[in-house]
Structure 1
Amino acid sequence: MLTELHEAATPTCEAQHCERPLGEPALVFETEAGRREAHECTCGAVTVTVVKSESSR
C-alpha cells in the first residue's frame, strides 16, 4: 500500500521557502531494504525520498 501511495504522490522540494514539485529522480538506488530517489530542484537543493520494501517491514 505504501509503495502505491509513493507512486501516486509527487515529491516536493524540501528547501526552505521553496516547495516546488519535483519531477523524475536524477538518481535511484534500490536494495532489499527499499528504494531511494534523489530529486534535484531548479533552486539547487536535492531532496531524497525513501520507500521501504514490503519485505523489510
Structure 2
Amino acid sequence: MFEELACTCDSCERELGDAALQLVYRTDAGARRAYECACGAVTVTVTA
C-alpha cells in the first residue's frame, strides 16, 4: 500500500532524502523529522 510513499517538499514538490534531514525527535508516540529543502522550505513528517 505504501511502497511508493516518498517525502516531498510542501513548497516545491522536490523529493527529500537523508541529505535534507536536519532534525529527528523521538518519543513513545513516534518520530518527528524536519527536512530543509534547497528552496528554503522546511517540511516536518510524523511517523508512529
Tell me the TM-score normalised to structure 1 length. 0.69
Task: State how many pairs are aligned.
Answer: 44
Structure 1 unaligned residues grouped into runs of 5+: 53-57
Task: Name the one with the larger helix percent.
Answer: 1
Q: Which runs of 4+ in 1 moved over 4 A?
A: none
1:45 equivalent in structure 2: 41
2:15 equivalent in structure 1: 21
Q: What RMSD in Å do the two structures reach over aligned CA positions?
A: 1.4
Task: Name the one with the larger strand percent.
Answer: 2
Structure 2 unaligned residues grouped into runs of 5+: none
Question: Higher Cα Rg: structure 1 or 2?
Answer: 1
- Rounded Cα–Cα distance in structure 1 between residues aligned with 2:22 and 2:46: 14
